[in-house]
């Protein structure tokens, strides 16, 4: 064994004091987001009707490199941060690889994922603005849980529209949210106009994230003192998630370790974007080179098979449009897809970095993801979230390549969360009943044909 401990912990005093905004170092910025009604770039006033004012400012700020983290947010971070960077000695041993594998573990809080990093920031700004509450959507439930925790901490009302299929399949997730005081409604519901419209158009639909977003936005804009908050995709969320990357960098620097490869799973792109931000910044400033890999499901392949175009962020087309890698806002992954990361688009920052060649992307099939999850759980102990296991899959593949070549690469990946609420998916895998579904080119084209015409 080397002198590097199994877990590299930072001191509380080493926790970041400012978030890092990678857009500040990008010469070519992500394209401006557009108002859905006018198709013109949104103004701060447009955005402030949906989001809290300071979050709207962060959304539009593509020049400040650092934004201070308010002390009230750092106080909350102290309850579960800094999170450990773990050297996966047992996995290396199992694989018999010369590679050194590290993972940044974000599952060490009740929400079970990195989403709390942004939830607490968004709840703080809502409270500071004097709002009564916030509305949001949740799919698998990690974001809704994180937001419920953050809202109870700041004494804010929290209304969660939960994708119906998850609401029915994950009753315990729902109860966790209710325990923290949130009101949870299955989506599409009959409580909003857009929900009633979607239910009429697609009778019996079990919902999608895009539908739930539209409902939550309507709920926020139709109630006095409410704003909408979103757990991924937006640039403000990626900004808050930069704590992951900043801590990772600090932990590596403490032991003089230079990462060669950084791997993250990509749904809407927030954990990946946060993890890689400081490293991408060094690439953009010409200071260092890293190989960065985004990993997505083969059944929802926005980076690897999508189109880089303006699209709606939600099915109901009420949110601003964003230029991003997208499969079309009407795309709904196959019902047998169990591994999360179901969003049709991708963060505009991640999309632009990918387009500039700062990172590459790979798609993986779900049975191989659960195979990696199982191997990881058996040797490293942590039961990973299916989402996180996409990154584990590629980290293992890369470590096995090193075995062939004899390279001692330093591989770092983001372990975004735990999978305790995903046991139905694990059960399918254990029973040998999980299958892979990869959409055909025709299916994707059909959805892409409905992209909005902009410019």
Ligand X SMILES: *Cc1c(COP(=O)(O)O)cnc(C)c1O
- Return the range that interacts with ligand X (CB under 6 A); candidates 299-307, 383-391, 398-406, 430-438: 383-391
Among the listed residues 186, 268, 281, 333, the single contact to ligand X using CB under 6 A = 268
Q: How far is the CB of 369 from ligand X (least distance, A)?
A: 12
Q: Any contact of residue 315 with ligand X (CB under 6 A)?
A: no
The residue with tokens 């401990």 is 5
Q: Any contact of residue 388 with ligand X (CB under 6 A)?
A: yes
Among the listed residues 167, 417, 439, 447, the single contact to ligand X using CB under 6 A = 417
Cα within 13 Å of Cα(232), Cβ side:
31
Please state the φ and ψ torsions of residue 300, each to the nearest 5 degrees. -145, 65
What's the rounded Cα separation, in Å, for the pair 91 and 375? 8
Nearer to ligand X, 272 or 402 (CB): 272
Task: Give the dihedral sign, CA 303/306/310/311.
Answer: negative
Burial environment of residue 253 by CB neighbours within 10 A (0 to 12, 13 to 18, 19 or more):
exposed
On whether the CB atoms of residues 426 and 419 are closer than 8 A, the answer is yes
- Return the range that interacts with ligand X (CB under 6 A); candidates 18-26, 201-209, 329-337, 381-389: 381-389
Q: How far is the CB of 115 from ligand X (least distance, A)?
A: 5
Q: Any contact of residue 269 with ligand X (CB under 6 A)?
A: yes
123-157 b/e with 16+ CB inside 10 Å = b? bbbbbeeebebbbbbbbbbbbbbbbbbbbebbebb
Helix axes 209-221, 193-201, angle to 10 degrees: 150
Among the listed residues 58, 83, 271, 299, the single contact to ligand X using CB under 6 A = 271
What's the rounded Cα separation, in Å, for the pair 429 and 409? 31
What are 256's two structure tokens? 């003089």
Among the listed residues 8, 149, 163, 265, the single contact to ligand X using CB under 6 A = 265
Q: How far is the CB of 22 from ligand X (least distance, A)?
A: 15
- Return the range that interacts with ligand X (CB under 6 A); candidates 35-43, 158-166, 260-268, 444-452: 260-268
Among the listed residues 21, 58, 113, 199, the single contact to ligand X using CB under 6 A = 113
Q: How far is the CB of 144 from ligand X (least distance, A)?
A: 10
Nearer to ligand X, 108 or 334 (CB): 108
List the interface residues with ligand X, window 220-249 (CB under 6 A): 232
Among the listed residues 122, 138, 142, 236, the single contact to ligand X using CB under 6 A = 142
* Residue 28 vs residues 25, 31, 365, 414: alpha-carbon distances, Å: 9, 9, 33, 26
Q: Any contact of residue 326 with ligand X (CB under 6 A)?
A: no
What's the rounded Cα separation, in Å, for the pair 434 and 367? 7
Q: Any contact of residue 341 with ligand X (CB under 6 A)?
A: yes
Decide the pairing of beta strands 100-105 and 85-87: antiparallel
Nearer to ligand X, 278 or 417 (CB): 417
Q: Any contact of residue 399 with ligand X (CB under 6 A)?
A: no
- Return the range that interacts with ligand X (CB under 6 A); candidates 19-27, 125-133, 324-332, 380-388: 380-388
Q: Any contact of residue 101 with ligand X (CB under 6 A)?
A: no
* Residue 332 vs residues 88, 205, 314, 346, 397: alpha-carbon distances, Å: 35, 11, 11, 14, 28
Q: Any contact of residue 115 with ligand X (CB under 6 A)?
A: yes
Q: Any contact of residue 281 with ligand X (CB under 6 A)?
A: no
Residues in contact with ligand X by CB under 6 A are 113, 115, 142, 232, 265-272, 341, 385, 387-388, 416-417
């Amino acid at each position: 064994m080397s002198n590097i401990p199994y877990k590299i912990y930072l001191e509380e005093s080493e926790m970041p004091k400012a978030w890092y905004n990678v857009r500040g170092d990008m010469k070519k910025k992500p394209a401006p987001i557009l108002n859905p009604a006018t198709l013109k770039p949104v103004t701060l006033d447009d955005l402030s009707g949906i989001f809290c004012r300071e979050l709207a400012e962060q959304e539009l700020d593509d020049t400040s490199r650092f934004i201070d983290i308010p002390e009230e947010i750092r106080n909350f971070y102290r309850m579960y941060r800094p999170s450990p960077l773990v050297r996966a000695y047992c996995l290396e041993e199992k694989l018999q690889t010369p590679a050194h594998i590290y993972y940044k573990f974000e599952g060490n809080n009740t929400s079970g994922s990195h989403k709390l990093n942004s939830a607490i920031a968004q709840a703080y700004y809502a409270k500071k603005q004097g709002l009564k509450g916030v509305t949001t959507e949740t799919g698998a439930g990690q974001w809704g849980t994180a937001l419920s925790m953050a809202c109870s901490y700041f004494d804010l009302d929290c209304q969660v529209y939960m994708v119906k299929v998850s609401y029915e399949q994950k009753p315990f997730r729902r109860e966790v949210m209710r325990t923290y005081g949130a009101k949870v409604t299955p989506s599409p519901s009959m409580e909003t106009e857009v929900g009633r419209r979607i239910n009429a158009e697609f009778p019996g639909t079990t919902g999608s994230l895009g539908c739930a977003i539209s409902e939550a936005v309507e709920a926020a804009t139709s109630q006095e003192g409410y704003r909408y908050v979103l757990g991924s995709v937006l640039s403000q969320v990626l900004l808050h998630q930069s704590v992951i990357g900043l801590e990772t960098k600090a932990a590596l620097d403490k032991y003089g370790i230079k990462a060669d490869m950084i791997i993250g799973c990509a749904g809407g792109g927030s954990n990946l974007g946060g993890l890689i931000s400081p490293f991408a910044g060094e690439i953009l400033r010409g200071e260092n080179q890293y190989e960065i890999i985004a990993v997505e499901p083969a059944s929802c392949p926005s980076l690897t098979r999508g189109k880089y175009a303006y699209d709606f962020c939600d099915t109901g087309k009420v949110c601003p449009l964003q230029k991003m890698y997208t499969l079309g806002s009407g795309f709904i992954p196959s019902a047998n897809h169990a591994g999360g990361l179901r969003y049709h688009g991708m963060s505009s920052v991640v999309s632009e970095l990918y387009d500039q060649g700062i990172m590459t992307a790979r798609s993986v099939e779900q049975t191989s993801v659960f195979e990696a999850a199982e191997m990881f759980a058996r040797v490293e102990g942590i039961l990973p979230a299916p989402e996180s296991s996409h990154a584990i899959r590629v980290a293992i593949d890369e470590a096995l390549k090193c075995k062939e070549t004899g390279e001692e690469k330093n591989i770092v990946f983001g372990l975004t969360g735990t999978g305790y609420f995903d046991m139905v998916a694990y059960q399918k895998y254990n029973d040998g009943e999980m299958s892979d579904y990869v959409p055909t080119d025709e299916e994707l084209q059909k959805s892409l044909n409905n992209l909005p015409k902009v410019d």
